[in-house]
Amino acid sequence: MKKWELDSSTVLKWGIPAAALLLISAVFLPPALVVFFQEILYFSEHHWAFIPYPSAFQLMAAAMAWAALCIISLFVTMLIAEGKKRTYRGTAVHAGLGLLSLPLLALSLGHYAYIDDEGVHTNAMWSFSEETMAWEDVQHVERLTSGESVTVNEYAFADENRTFIIPYNANDFPTTRAMTRMEEEHGLEAESPS
């Protein structure tokens, strides 16, 4: 039986189209993929709102682009080695570097916030553990805008020691409803920026 060997023609045939697909997908798919997989992994009927962070989309896009660049780099270095009539020995290095995209994908799926009966919960970008701020601990809620804009794009929840900042989109009904419910059930009225 013939031993399978990876050469530049195989990478050209399978790897380069995969890399191109990953690069194109990195532009369009991360929001849909993050929301889809977070729904599968973390859905609970007890959540008032489940909110993915925009930085989770960016991290997933970076992971996809990184994997694509590793494939392209593999192809280029193979061509250089073949041009010099040398045996190529860098496949394991490229595979290892490409596999670094997997933890980035996992971290992107684990970056979220949600609001429920207990309070506000967040999972930071570089963490696999949730932090909770119970409703009775919340001392201050503020709507945040960026620059001179009057559009609210984040809410800040603060207690004595911490501040949780969660994304806000007025077109996302569950999040809008959660903010109204917070005011109605817990008497926490969000202050507008001055």
Q: What is the token pair recorded at 88? A: 């190529």
pTM of the prediction? 0.87
- Please tell me the distance from the alpha carbon of residue 132 to that of residue 91, in angstroms, as a whole number: 44
Query: What is the C-alpha end-to-end distance of the chain, expressed in Å?
Result: 75
- Once rounded to an integer, what is the mean pLDDT over residues 138-158? 91
Band of residue 77 on the pLDDT scale cut at 50, 70, 90: confident
User: SS3 for 191?
Assistant: strand
- Once rounded to an integer, what is the mean pLDDT over residues 126-149? 91
Band of residue 194 on the pLDDT scale cut at 50, 70, 90: low
> Which residue did the predictor score with more confidence, 149 or 130?
130
Q: DSSP assignment, residue 7?
A: -
- Segment among 4-8, 40-44, 128-132 with least mean pLDDT: 4-8
* Domain limits, CATH 2.30.29, in the chain: 113-194
Multiple choice CATH, 113-194, 3.40.50, 1.50.10, 3.40.190, 2.30.29:
2.30.29
Phi and psi (nearest 5°) for 140? Answer: -150, 135
Amino acid in the structure at residue 190: A
Residue 10 has pLDDT above 90, yes or no: no
Q: DSSP assignment, residue 137?
A: G
